[in-house]
C-alpha cells in the first residue's frame, strides 16, 4: 500500500488528509460526480412536490424541504391556519393542518374515557391538539391514518402554550406522508 497525502474528498480545503483512498471509493466518487452532472443536464426540471416524493420513496424521508411544503399555498387558500401563525388566533376558532408526528392517549380522571394529546407538524412549526372523549371517539382513528390532518376548534392559551381543542377533524384526501407516528403511553414523558 502506498501512502499518499490528499485532501479529504468532501472537504477540499480541510487540514485533514487521507493517507490512502481505495480505488473502489475513488471510482464511486467519480460515478457520483458523473451522475450528479447527468441529473443537472436532464431536460426539464422536477417540481418541488416531485422532488420530495422521490426523496421520500428513495430515502424514507424528505431532504430538500418539509414533505408538506408543496401544500402551503393550498392550505392558505382554504383558510387553514399555519402553526407559525397560531398565536394570532388565541381565544378564537381556527382550522389547523399538518402531519401527526406524535400523540398520547390517556383515560380521563373521572370517567376513564379515552382522550388524546396530539402534536401536528406543518412546514411552519408544531401545533398541540387536544381530543377530548367525544372528539376522540369520532375522529381518533384519523390520528394514525398516515394522512395530513385538518382539525377545527378553539385555540386556547394555557400556561404559556397554545393548544387547539378539537371539535371536528378530517384527513386530507389523496396525500399520504410515510412518516411514522409515535404513540406515547400514559405515564411516558410529558403530555
Model confidence over 41-69: pLDDT tens digits? 555 678 888 888 888 888 888 888 888 88
Model confidence over 8-41: pLDDT tens digits? 344 344 444 444 445 555 455 555 555 555 555 5
Model confidence over 75-105: pLDDT tens digits? 888 899 999 999 999 999 999 999 999 999 9
Provide the whole-model pTM. Answer: 0.66
Burial class (CB in 10 A: 0-12, 13-18, 19+), 132: middle
Domain architecture of the chain: domains with CATH: 22-65 (no CATH), 70-184 (2.40.50.140)
The CA angle 72-78-82, to the nearest 5 degrees, is 45
State CA 72 to chain mean position distance: 13
State residue 4's pLDDT score.
Answer: 40
Model confidence over 163-184: pLDDT tens digits? 999 999 999 876 655 544 555 5
On the question of pLDDT at 126 being above 60, the answer is yes
What average pLDDT does the structure give for the chain?
78
For the segment 144-150, the average pLDDT, to the nearest whole number, is 88
Helices within 16-151 (DSSP H only): 23-40, 48-59, 72-77, 133-139
Amino acid at each position: 500500500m502506498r501512502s499518499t497525502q490528499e485532501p479529504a474528498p468532501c472537504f477540499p480545503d480541510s487540514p485533514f488528509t487521507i493517507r490512502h483512498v481505495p480505488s473502489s471509493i475513488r471510482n464511486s466518487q467519480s460515478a457520483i460526480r458523473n451522475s450528479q452532472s447527468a441529473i443537472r443536464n436532464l431536460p426539464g426540471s422536477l417540481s418541488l412536490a416531485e422532488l420530495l416524493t422521490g426523496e421520500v420513496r428513495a430515502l424514507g424521508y424528505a431532504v430538500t424541504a418539509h414533505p408538506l411544503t408543496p401544500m402551503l399555498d393550498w392550505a392558505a387558500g382554504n383558510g387553514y391556519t399555519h402553526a407559525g401563525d397560531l398565536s394570532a388566533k388565541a381565544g378564537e376558532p381556527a382550522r389547523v393542518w399538518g402531519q401527526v408526528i406524535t400523540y398520547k392517549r390517556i383515560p380521563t380522571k373521572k370517567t376513564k374515557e379515552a382522550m388524546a394529546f396530539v402534536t401536528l407538524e406543518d412546514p411552519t412549526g408544531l401545533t398541540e391538539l387536544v381530543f377530548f372523549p367525544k372528539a376522540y371517539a369520532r375522529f381518533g382513528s384519523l390520528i394514525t391514518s398516515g394522512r395530513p390532518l385538518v382539525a377545527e376548534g378553539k385555540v386556547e392559551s394555557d400556561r404559556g402554550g397554545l393548544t387547539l381543542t378539537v371539535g371536528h377533524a378530517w384527513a386530507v384526501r389523496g396525500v399520504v406522508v410515510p412518516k411514522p407516528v409515535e404513540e406515547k403511553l400514559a405515564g411516558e414523558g410529558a403530555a
